[in-house]
C-alpha cells in the first residue's frame, strides 16, 4: 500500500480500502467512536486517523528571548502560523504550527539541540496552560516522560519554585532528564518511582499537580501504522483505567487543600476519561470538586455523562474533550480543586 504523508492531505489509508482485516484499525474501536463523537463531527474525526497533521512547537523562553528564537526559525525558512491563544505577557505568540514537511529541518536544527524550541502537539500544550502554575509554586508532574509538559510547566513558572517530575520507566526517565537539561529547566527534581506511591509519600505537598496519564493513546492511532493500534482491546482499556484511577487518587492525596489537579489523556475511551473522573468524585465526595473551565478553541465538546450502559455524575460534563483536526490530536481534560483532606 502506498503511503503519502503530507500536511493536511489524506493518505491512502487502511481505514477504508484495505481488505486485509488484520491490517485495519479495529472495527470495535471505530464503532465505539460512533457512540462517543457527535454525528456532525464523526467523519472528520475518522478522517484524522488517515491525515498527516501539521506540526507545532513551543518557543522556550528559558533558553533565549522569544524574538531571537523566532528569528532563528525565520532564518531556517520555516513558515510560522501562530497558535493564537498561546502568548507571552506582551501578547506575542509562544507557539507556532507549520506544515509537516518542515519536520526534518526543525529536528536537525541547532535551535532544537539548544532547547530553544520543543516540538509538541497543540492539544498537549493546553494541559499545562489550563493548570496555570505560577512562579514560586510547588508543582508535581506525576507521569512526566519525555517531558513535553514538564518543560512547559517550568517555562510557565519562569524557572522559579519547585517542580517534581515522576516517571516509572527507567529508559523514559533518561529521556526526561535529557529534555529537562536541554530545555534549561533548573527547578525540576526527578523521581524514578511508581506515581501511585507518591500520595502516601508526600501527602498535601503540592499547589498544583499534572497527571498526563499513561493511556491507550487512541488519539494517536494512525491508519497506516499498525503498531499504533495493534495492541488495542477493551480488556486493555480496563487495565489501563485501573492504573489511571490509582494515579489520580495519588495525585489528589499529594495536593494541598485549595490546590488543583489537571487530569488528561490522549484517549477517546470513556473508561479512561469520564469513568475515571466519576470514580474519584465518588471516592473523595466532599474532598474534591470538578472545576469548570473553557478552552480557547472551537473543536471541543463537554465530557460525556453517559456511555453505553453507564451513567456518570452529571458534573462530569465540566470535563472537556478536544476533537482532532488538521493540527490537534484528540485529548481529554478534567480539572479538580481539593477542598478538604482526602484521607
What's the CA gap between 274 and 285, in Å, rounded? 16
- The least CB distance from residue 8 to ligand SAM, in Å, is 24
Query: For ligand SAM, what does the binding mask look like between residues 186 and 215, x meaning CB under 6 A?
Result: --------xxx---------------x-x-
Nearest approach in angstroms of CB 220 to ligand SAM is 10
Residue with Cβ nearer ligand SAM (70 or 154): 154
From the list 128, 133, 125, 130, the residue with the least C-alpha distance to 83 is 125
Q: Cell match 523566532: residue? A: 70
Among 32, 102, 149, 253, binds ligand SAM (CB under 6 A): 149
Distance CA 210, CA 129 (A): 11
Tell me: does residue 330 bind ligand SAM (CB under 6 A). Answer: no
Q: Considering only 74-82, 84-92, 144-152, 222-230, which stretch makes contact with ligand SAM by CB under 6 A?
A: 144-152
The residue among 64 and 167 lying less far from ligand SAM, judged by its C-beta, is: 167
Question: Hey, is 300 helix, strand or coil?
Answer: strand
Show the DSSP H helices in 51-100 as ranges: 66-75
Cell of 275: 469513568
Q: Which is nearer to ligand SAM, 203 or 246 (CB)?
A: 246
Q: Residues 146, 301, 305, 337: which binds ligand SAM (CB under 6 A)? A: 146
By CB under 6 A, how many residues form the interface with ligand SAM?
18
Stretch touching ligand SAM by CB under 6 A, among 30-38, 145-153, 220-228, 295-303: 145-153
| Residue in 51, 59, 86, 147 binding ligand SAM, rule: CB under 6 A | 147
Burial, 34: exposed, middle or buried (Cβ in 10 Å; 0-12, 13-18, 19+)? Answer: exposed
Residues 66-125 that bind ligand SAM (CB under 6 A): 124
Instruction: Return the residue of 167, 218, 274, 278 that touches ligand SAM, per CB under 6 A.
Output: 167
Residue 327 is placed in which grid cell?
Answer: 493540527
**Minimum distance from CB of 194 to ligand SAM (Å)?**
4
262 near ligand SAM (CB under 6 A) = no
* Residue among 149 and 335 whose Cβ is closer to ligand SAM: 149
C-beta of 41 vs 197, nearer to ligand SAM = 197
Q: Is 143 in the site for ligand SAM (CB under 6 A)?
A: yes
Cα distance between residue 150 and residue 94, in whole Å: 16
The C-alpha torsion from 40 through 46 and 49 to 55, rounded to 10°, is -10
Least CB distance to ligand SAM at residue 272 (A): 11
SS3 217: coil
Range list of H helices, the chain: 27-36, 39-48, 66-75, 103-107, 110-113, 122-131, 148-156, 170-182, 198-201, 226-229, 234-253, 274-284
Select the residue interacting with ligand SAM from 166, 180, 248, 277 (CB under 6 A). Answer: 166
**144 touches ligand SAM (CB under 6 A):** yes
218 scored as a contact of ligand SAM (CB under 6 A): no
Q: Give the chain's length.
A: 343
CB 268 within 8 A of CB 41: no
- Is 215 designated active site? no
Among candidate residues 183, 215, 266, 319, the one labeled active-site is 266
The CB-based long-range contact list for 306-312 (8 Å cut-off, 24+ gap) reads: 307/35, 307/36, 307/270, 307/274, 307/275, 308/35, 308/270, 310/270, 310/275, 312/270, 312/274, 312/275, 312/277, 312/278
Q: Which residues of this chain interact with ligand SAM, rule CB under 6 A? A: 124, 143-149, 166-169, 172, 194-196, 212, 214
Residues taking part in catalysis: 266
Amino acid at each position: 500500500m502506498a503511503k503519502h504523508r503530507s500536511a493536511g492531505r489524506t493518505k491512502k489509508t487502511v481505514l477504508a480500502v484495505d481488505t486485509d482485516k488484520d491490517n485495519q484499525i479495529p472495527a470495535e474501536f471505530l464503532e465505539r467512536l460512533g457512540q462517543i463523537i457527535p454525528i456532525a463531527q464523526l467523519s472528520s474525526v475518522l478522517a484524522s486517523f488517515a491525515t498527516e497533521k501539521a506540526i507545532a512547537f513551543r518557543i522556550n523562553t528559558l533558553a533565549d528571548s522569544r524574538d531571537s528564537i523566532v528569528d532563528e526559525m525565520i532564518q531556517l525558512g520555516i513558515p510560522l502560523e501562530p497558535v493564537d491563544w498561546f502568548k507571552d505577557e506582551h501578547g506575542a505568540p509562544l507557539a507556532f504550527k507549520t506544515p509537516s514537511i518542515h519536520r526534518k529541518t526543525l529536528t536537525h536544527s541547532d535551535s532544537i539541540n539548544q532547547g530553544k524550541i520543543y516540538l509538541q502537539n497543540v492539544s498537549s500544550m493546553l494541559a499545562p496552560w489550563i493548570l496555570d502554575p505560577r512562579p514560586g509554586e510547588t508543582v508535581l508532574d506525576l507521569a512526566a516522560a519525555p517531558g513535553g509538559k514538564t518543560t512547559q510547566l517550568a517555562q510557565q513558572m519562569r524557572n522559579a519554585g519547585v517542580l517534581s517530575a515522576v516517571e516509572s520507566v527507567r529508559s523514559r526517565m533518561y529521556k526526561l532528564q535529557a529534555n529537562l537539561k536541554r530545555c534549561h529547566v533548573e527547578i525540576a527534581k526527578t523521581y524514578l518511582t511508581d506515581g501511585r506511591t507518591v500520595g502516601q509519600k508526600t501527602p498535601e505537598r503540592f499547589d498544583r499537580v499534572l497527571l498526563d496519564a499513561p493511556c491507550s493513546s487512541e488519539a494517536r492511532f494512525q491508519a497506516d501504522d499498525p503498531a499504533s493500534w495493534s495492541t488495542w482491546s477493551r480488556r486493555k482499556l480496563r487495565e489501563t483505567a485501573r492504573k489511571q484511577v490509582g494515579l489520580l487518587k495519588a495525585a489528589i492525596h499529594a495536593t494541598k487543600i485549595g490546590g488543583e489537579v489537571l487530569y488528561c489523556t490522549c484517549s477517546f475511551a470513556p473508561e479512561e476519561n469520564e469513568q475515571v473522573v466519576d470514580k474519584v468524585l465518588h471516592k473523595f465526595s466532599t474532598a474534591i470538586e470538578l472545576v469548570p473551565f473553557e478552552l480557547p478553541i472551537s473543536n471541543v465538546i463537554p465530557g460525556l455523562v453517559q456511555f453505553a450502559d453507564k451513567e456518570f455524575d452529571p458534573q462530569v460534563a465540566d470535563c472537556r474533550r478536544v476533537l482532532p483536526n488538521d493540527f490537534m490530536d484528540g485529548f481529554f481534560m478534567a480539572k479538580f480543586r481539593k477542598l478538604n483532606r482526602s484521607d
